[in-house]
Amino acid sequence: MNTSEFRRRGKEMVDYVANYMEGIEGRQVYPDVEPGYLRPLIPDSAPQEPDTFEDIINDIEKIIMPGAASPACTELETVMMDWLGKMLELPEAFLTEKAGEGGGVIQGSASEATLVALLAARTKAIHRLQAASPELTQAAIMEKLVAYSSDQAHSSVERAGLIGGVKLKAIPSDGNFAMRASALREALESDRAAGLIPFFVVATLGTTTCCSFDNLLEVGPICNKEDMWLHVDAAYAGSAFICPEFRHLLNGVEFADSFNFNPHKWLLVNFDCSAMWVKKRSDLTGAFRLDPTYLKHSHQDSGKLKPAFNIFLTDGPFHVLFQHWQIPLGRRFRSLKMWFVFRMYGVKGLQAYIRKHVQLSHEFESLVLQDPRFEICAEVTLGLVCFRLKGSNKVNEALLQRINSAKKIHLVPCHLRDKFVLRFAICSRTVESAHVQRAWEHIKELAADVLRAEKE
Amino acid sequence: MNTSEFRRRGKEMVDYVANYMEGIEGRQVYPDVEPGYLRPLIPDSAPQEPDTFEDIINDIEKIIMPGAASPACTELETVMMDWLGKMLELPEAFLTEKAGEGGGVIQGSASEATLVALLAARTKAIHRLQAASPELTQAAIMEKLVAYSSDQAHSSVERAGLIGGVKLKAIPSDGNFAMRASALREALESDRAAGLIPFFVVATLGTTTCCSFDNLLEVGPICNKEDMWLHVDAAYAGSAFICPEFRHLLNGVEFADSFNFNPHKWLLVNFDCSAMWVKKRSDLTGAFRLDPTYLKHSHQDSGKLKPAFNIFLTDGPFHVLFQHWQIPLGRRFRSLKMWFVFRMYGVKGLQAYIRKHVQLSHEFESLVLQDPRFEICAEVTLGLVCFRLKGSNKVNEALLQRINSAKKIHLVPCHLRDKFVLRFAICSRTVESAHVQRAWEHIKELAADVLRAEKE
């Protein structure tokens, strides 16, 4: 949407809200709809081509308003998570519509998704071990539980371990910064020999440092065989999997118990919107479920759900009560953002957006490769280019300092093993080739200054 | 703001955003400001009388935009939390401006605040016990830790215990549904005798069921003396403490380690915005802090902070890095909502809003008291009236069923001891006496139907 259409549509939305407020006394305080009303009213997958803004707004009045915040909020979320799951070609076990055991939920951040997965895995492991050995206390089990992730995993994984009160071990990644079977197996063997209980593995697709990919096809089967929960964190890279040419990067997700990525990072949905799927939703609800009277509703135990009484505690079909899927109790209506974005761009528009960013990062990569003073430090797969001046960390730190002090572009560095590395990330909605070219000219100039200063 | 002004201002905001997007290439990618730039630019407390909308928008352009998302997001949050803390007359130890050890942070929900407090308390207790007895493992300590709350506390407290992997015990409340010293002391003595380690108490001000108040002046000194973290949860009632006539309900907060309430519940700030203060912020950061390279910034360890490099990881003065204060890593700019609301209403406007609700709930209470068929079930202090038909739970369940099926008003019930109770909550921004009168007439009619049906 360009700014002139934004001006028009934005003002229409302001009037929509004002009209709603003016007419609110004429509305019913509670919806008439029955649970499950929403899904039949909308398509079962995202449109390939964009819908018009009029179509979307008309659907808001026709489909959302009669269902108010509850149950519409939960129901739209289950459908949008199915739409998105299908865009990624997730295995059917993760979708809600099949009335199976899985489903998707919007979390606030990948950190929360990792924590929720770890807590569910912890509860499951404790139940399993106590079923086998009823004399074991929870504390005795927790003391022995070990979680694993690659040494390239995001710090939020370590934090989830801290919060969950379990050990977390870093598996040394290979030359491509990927977790592989051999290193994981080695850790498992030595930990089991020491009496510990491996229970949880986080595999990262698209690490924060250099966008490397853990080897899911190797790691997944080990997790399944060893009865460890596998959580796949694709916070950044996940958006790219809507393109068939990048979908192979997700191969092996069929081994996962939970999968998460952030549409707010790279799929044009405003912050926050972190999409999480589980194969068995009772694993989540088992970890969190409590039912005080004031959260009960009329048909909760009868197998027939009614809309919840509280606008933030919303129910959907198939016994979906998202309050049991997450840390907070309250929820915002975040699936509306997904609905608008998916329809206004269409799947093709979103694919084109991803492809453009990947193409621009390869354009930057080739510029770097043409300059013998520089090196590329990790394979460029999506929108991130890790590069540096050949030479010391000191000279690269000096270059970063100059770049960020000039304030024309902004780079966030990382360490890859012992190397200080600069990261060029394509991430703006409006980025064009001209920006990339200009940024590279600017970097080259500053690099020349740095190298000159070094010689003096 | 009435709807006609909303139409005008809303459209101005749409243009503001569109203008920003059109001019974005002319803006610097990184702010020039120094950490701490913001506080001197705005008053040190909320205005008593409303500011004009023009004043606020001018300040956005003048004060926020030069500081971009970082560090403005964190800096405005620290100042708004100070404003709000002063509105509540919180002890100075909880404010950031004094450059002491405390401060405020916006969480997403009271559930998260309780969990964060419990995790901080757990870490502190483990450190203390391990310092005294280095041979103790974390698991050995966690097995013995016990947290306490009243039997009227919100279910999120129990959930925090589940997630944190510690025992939670419910203290029987007194005849006014309040936690008192005697019952708490009894539990502590028996648990200590059994070898357990009490470490955490949640006191609730304004319970969900009936808006009862735990006795902070009794419970607080016990917590301090026994080295237990005291968390005060005033999720709903907290907003009322901005009125001097209700401030006494907060007496005893000076004994607390952390305090939380939800401005999104009753202070006109849109969901979500949960305000949490701690006396010693290092207790929180000690529980969460991890520092990978990609979250580091240039002067982090030098005592001189620079704006962070990531728009969601924002720094403020006094080493405030909110990423270490919460579960998620990313943050939204929620303090803007507080700034707008506090300025558009002024403290007096917000006080008037609270007072009107409390007055309307007393109006409803007196209507109930005038009808001998009904009884009031708990003291009416703020905006909640707990009432029921004198008689069986069955007749009250039937009444609730009729009320909620008629869909003219909507009530959420609760259990007080063995009684099924109806809850009449004044919570709409636009509620008037006429609504209360109409609701009561409606309830009386349905009650007559229920009582007639019962006799037949």
A328 near B CB under 8 A: yes
Interface contact flag, A14 B15, Cβ < 8 Å:
no
**Portion of chain B with pLDDT greater than 90, in percent:** 80
Q: Write out the two tokens for B105.
A: 């942070």
Residue B355: closest CA among B411, B431, B286: B431
Lowest mean pLDDT among A317-331, A432-446, B192-206, B289-303: B289-303
* CA pair distance A77, A66, nearest whole angstrom: 16
Query: If pLDDT is split at 50, 70 and 90, which confidence band does B316 have?
Result: very low
Based on the fold, state whether residues A169 and A211 are members of the same structural domain: yes
Contacts A109 to B, Cβ<8 Å: 328-330
In A137-193 the beta strands, taken as DSSP E runs, fall at 145-150, 167-171
Q: Over 90: is that where the pLDDT of B230 sits?
A: yes
- Bond before A43 cis per omega within 30 degrees: no
Q: What is the CATH number of the domain that holds A95?
A: 3.40.640.10
Render pLDDT for A367-377 as a digit per residue (tens, 0 to 9).
999 999 999 99
Query: If pLDDT is split at 50, 70 and 90, which confidence band does B308 have?
Result: very low
Residue B281: closest CA among B117, B404, B426: B117
Report the residue of chain A nearest B398, measured CA to CA. A298
Distance from CA of A350 to the nearest CA of B (A): 20
pLDDT for position B293: 55
Between A83 and A159, residue with greater pLDDT: A83
Based on the fold, state whether residues B380 and B274 are members of the same structural domain: no
Based on the fold, state whether residues B164 and B241 are members of the same structural domain: yes
Please, which residues 287-326 of chain B have a Cβ atom closer than 8 Å to chain A?
Answer: 287-288, 290-295, 298, 309-310, 312
Residue A115 one-letter amino acid: L
For an interface test with B, the pick among A327, A332, A405, A409 (most B C-beta atoms closer than 10 Å) comes out as A327
Based on the fold, state whether residues A252 and A382 are members of the same structural domain: no
Based on the fold, state whether residues A212 and A269 are members of the same structural domain: yes
3-state SS assignment for residue B413: coil
* A193 backbone dihedrals φ, ψ, rounded to 5°: -60, -30
Q: Over 90: is that where the pLDDT of A298 sits?
A: no
- Evaluated on CA atoms A429, A430, A433, A437, the torsion sign reads negative
Domain count, chain A: 2
* CA pair distance B75, B407, nearest whole angstrom: 45
pLDDT for position B284: 85
Report the residue of chain A nearest B209, measured CA to CA. A294
pLDDT for position B298: 45
Interface contact flag, B410 A309, Cβ < 8 Å:
yes
Interface contact flag, A137 B143, Cβ < 8 Å:
yes
pLDDT for position A70: 80
Interface contact flag, A294 B165, Cβ < 8 Å:
no
Q: What is the CATH number of the domain that holds A368?
A: 3.90.1150.10
Mean pLDDT across A375-395: 98
Based on the fold, state whether residues A153 and A243 are members of the same structural domain: yes
Q: Is residue B295 part of a domain?
A: no
pLDDT for position A362: 98
Q: For residue A270, how many other CB atoms are within 10 A of its CB?
A: 12
A&B contacts, CB < 8 Å:
184
Q: Is residue A314 part of a domain?
A: no
A142 near B CB under 8 A: yes
Q: Is residue A12 part of a domain?
A: no
* CA pair distance A196, A140, nearest whole angstrom: 11
Supply the pTM of this predicted model. Answer: 0.92
Q: For residue B105, how many other CB atoms are within 10 A of its CB?
A: 25
pLDDT for position B131: 93
Based on the fold, state whether residues A325 and A355 are members of the same structural domain: no
Q: Over 60: is that where the pLDDT of B75 sits?
A: yes
Mean pLDDT across A27-47: 91
pLDDT for position A99: 67
pLDDT for position B286: 76
* A417 backbone dihedrals φ, ψ, rounded to 5°: 50, -125
* CA pair distance A253, A230, nearest whole angstrom: 9
Determine the straight-line distance between the first and last CA of chain B, rounded to whole angstroms.
51
Render pLDDT for B241-272 as a digit per residue (tens, 0 to 9).
999 999 999 999 999 999 999 999 999 999 99
B2 near A CB under 8 A: no
Between A126 and B98, residue with greater pLDDT: A126
Q: Is residue A108 part of a domain?
A: yes
pLDDT for position A337: 97
Q: Is residue B9 part of a domain?
A: no
A7 near B CB under 8 A: yes
Choosing from A332, A357, A389, the residue where a domain stops is A332
* CA pair distance A64, A57, nearest whole angstrom: 10
* CA pair distance A219, A187, nearest whole angstrom: 13
Residue B406: closest CA among B357, B449, B374, B453: B449
* A43 backbone dihedrals φ, ψ, rounded to 5°: -60, 160
- Which domain, by its residues, includes A102? 71-288+320-332
pLDDT for position A301: 36
Choosing from B297, B332, B367, the residue where a domain stops is B332
Distance from CA of B98 to the nearest CA of A (A): 30
For an interface test with A, the pick among B329, B332, B442 (most A C-beta atoms closer than 10 Å) comes out as B329
Q: Over 80: is that where the pLDDT of A43 sits?
A: yes
Contacts B295 to A, Cβ<8 Å: 155
Q: Is residue B258 part of a domain?
A: yes
Residue A386: closest CA among A370, A368, A409: A368
Interface contact flag, A155 B295, Cβ < 8 Å:
yes
pLDDT for position A3: 94
Based on the fold, state whether residues B274 and B206 are members of the same structural domain: yes
Query: If pLDDT is split at 50, 70 and 90, which confidence band does A51 have?
Result: very high
Residue A326: closest CA among A107, A136, A171, A1: A107
Contacts A409 to B, Cβ<8 Å: 29
Based on the fold, state whether residues B279 and B132 are members of the same structural domain: yes
Query: If pLDDT is split at 50, 70 and 90, which confidence band does B299 have?
Result: very low
Residue with tokens 């007639």: B452
Render pLDDT for B167-182 as a digit per residue (tens, 0 to 9).
999 999 999 999 999 9
Lowest mean pLDDT among A226-240, B105-119, B186-200, B310-324: B310-324
In A52-71, which positions are buried (b, 16+ CB within 10 angstroms) versus exposed (e)? ebeebeebeeebbeebbbbb
Contacts A138 to B, Cβ<8 Å: 143, 165
Render pLDDT for B329-341 as a digit per residue (tens, 0 to 9).
788 999 999 999 9
* CA pair distance A42, A222, nearest whole angstrom: 40
Asked whether B418 and B426 are in contact (CB, 8 A), the reply is no
Based on the fold, state whether residues A379 and A327 are members of the same structural domain: no
* CA pair distance B126, B164, nearest whole angstrom: 13
In A262-413 the beta strands, taken as DSSP E runs, fall at 274-278, 374-376, 384-389
Residue A144: closest CA among A126, A159, A162: A126
Q: Is residue A10 part of a domain?
A: no
Q: In what order do the strands lie in the sheet with A384-389?
A: A374-376, A384-389, A419-425, A414-416
* CA pair distance B378, A270, nearest whole angstrom: 44
Query: If pLDDT is split at 50, 70 and 90, which confidence band does A306 have?
Result: very low
Q: Is residue B340 part of a domain?
A: no
Render pLDDT for A441-450 as a digit per residue (tens, 0 to 9).
999 999 999 9
Considering only the beta carbons, identify the residue of B155, B292, B410 that sits closest to A292. B155
Based on the fold, state whether residues B117 and B216 are members of the same structural domain: yes
What does the mean pLDDT of chain A come to? Answer: 91
Interface contact flag, A11 B6, Cβ < 8 Å:
no
Based on the fold, state whether residues B199 and B324 are members of the same structural domain: yes
pLDDT for position B259: 98
Report the residue of chain B nearest A411, measured CA to CA. B309
Mean pLDDT across B383-407: 97
pLDDT for position B138: 86
Distance from CA of A408 to the nearest CA of B (A): 6
**Portion of chain A with pLDDT greater than 90, in percent:** 80
Interface contact flag, A271 B140, Cβ < 8 Å:
no
The H or E element spanning position B374 is: strand B374-376
